[in-house]
Chain A
Amino acid sequence: MSSRIYIPTHSAHNFGYAILNVLKLAKGIEYKLNGTDSVIIDFSKCSFLTPYTIATLAAYFSNPEKAGVLKIDSETTNGDLKPYLDLIHFYVGLQPEAFTENELKDTIKKYGAKTYIPLVSYNTKLNKEIALRRDNAVSIIHTLIANQLNLQPSYKSAISYLIDEMIDNVVQHAVVDRGILHAQFYPNLGFLDICIADMGRGVLAGYQENDYEYKTHLQAVKAALKGISTKKGETERGFGIRTSTRMLTQGLKGSLFLMSGNGLFINTSEYSKLVEAKKHYWQGTLVGIRIPLNFEGNFNYVSYLE
């Protein structure tokens, strides 16, 4: 028996609404997965998708257990949606390890005049070949974003740093085969959205499996924000989220949300909030950032590092 989930179109553009859509989507999919043999993803009511929604869906398909029971109803991707989804390689994503560096550069060239990058599904293996291919692929994506937005080097460095920290966190901590990256900017709306998603073990398990005694997802998210490394005794390794949020919100005046389990952290240039989203759950970690398209002058990203 199968069940259908309708992806709603995105009718408002405030940051909180984008987060809410992702929470609802995940909740809806999990609810339907619990009672049926398969879930069909239906886009018939949808004409606009954010990188957060795309990355969330792609993360589901990157999980072999979930992918086995999810199906896209391709008849429902109408109008402009189908060519867009095809172009970004939805839902499998572009897998960098399948390309040589030159092949990847050639593939990426066609996005030069676009406002989005392809969906990237990166292998998180630690062996040298995969690690270097991943690193080089990330460099290519940085350059693509910088060219699309005509960024000065200092802003390219800042956005590169933010993406690198998020990707590194997945590779180091998620214990998962693949991570997902997607990004799009909206010239009329005035912002760039970036999302990194994984369906790994999540922040809480990362601490508990290293003998920390945190019991809730919220406690774990708080610990991560404090810069506490999951590797006991290593004081340098845990600083990524803290410096990233500071650079993003104070420096670039952007916003971030991080969801792991039912722990949700929201940080804008005006406030920070931690939320225990009791009836929502994300297996793994989902990070979304939004950066205003204001790249005037020079940006001293080094001053936000520690």
Chain B
Amino acid sequence: MPNTATIKLAAYFDSSINTRDAVRAVFAESIPSNTKNLVIDFSDIEFISRSPGDEILKQRKKLINADISVTFKDVPAQVAKVLDVIGKKVDNAGQSVANIPVYSFSKTSELEAFLESI
């Protein structure tokens, strides 16, 4: 396909992708301006954390909005599972946090006794 570029992630990462900014930096500098089709090659990637996975999906969305087609190639099953889960929108579930008890101690000795009991 003409105007196709490939980002082979293993050329930048040592089998695992851990941080958001590293992904962002790779995308910022690796896509030629006339690209119409982008292939993101996941071969030799064994692990991806949530934040960089989220960043890859965001970059994909941005590219699609700019009429660039994006294909994920050779995604290992475990990495695909992570991307699938991250890609699902979730409502902010603040209810469980609202139920966390809040403690306040007017005396340092009381805070210390509380912590020593944990």
Chain A residues near B (Cβ < 8 Å): 12, 14-17, 19-20, 23, 101, 126-128, 131-132, 134-136, 138-140, 142, 153, 156-157, 160-161, 163-165, 167-168, 171-172, 218, 222, 225-228, 235-240, 243, 265-266, 268, 272-280, 302, 305-306
Contact = CB atoms under 8 A, between A and B. Distances in A.
What is the interface of chain A mostly: helix, strand, loop, or mixed?
helix
The 5 A-B residue pairs with the shortest CB-CB distance in the complex, in nearest-first order: A16-B118, A128-B25, A135-B22, A164-B49, A16-B115
A28 to B, nearest CB: 12
A272 B100 contact: yes
B34 to A, nearest CB: 21
B102 A274 contact: yes
Given A126-B21, A135-B19, A276-B105, 15 more contacts: A12-B116, A101-B14, A128-B22, A131-B25, A168-B21, A168-B51, A218-B102, A222-B97, A236-B54, A239-B50, A273-B100, A273-B101, A274-B102, A275-B105, A278-B111
B85 interface: yes
Contacts of A138: 18-19
Contact of B28 (A128, A172, A266): A128
B90 interface: yes
Given A138-B19, A165-B51, A171-B21, A236 B14 contact: no
Nearest to A154: B78
Contacts of A160: 16, 18, 47, 49
A140 B15 CA distance: 10
B19 A275 contact: no
B86 interface: yes
Interface in B1-35: 12-22, 24-26, 28-29
Contact of B90 (A134, A136, A163, A306): A306
Contacts of A277: 105, 111
Given A128-B28, A236-B58, A305 B50 contact: yes
A255 to B, nearest CB: 8
20 contacts: A14-B118, A16-B117, A132-B22, A134-B19, A135-B19, A138-B19, A139-B14, A161-B49, A168-B19, A222-B100, A226-B97, A236-B89, A265-B100, A273-B103, A275-B114, A276-B104, A278-B104, A278-B105, A302-B78, A305-B82
A266 to B, nearest CB: 7
B99 to A, nearest CB: 9
B65 interface: no
A275 B16 CA distance: 36
B73 interface: no
A14 B115 CA distance: 9
Contacts of B116: 12, 14, 16-17, 20
A134 B23 CA distance: 12
Contacts of B24: 126, 131
Contacts of B26: 128, 132
Contacts of B114: 16, 275
A135 B54 contact: no
A240 B92 CA distance: 12
B105 A240 contact: no
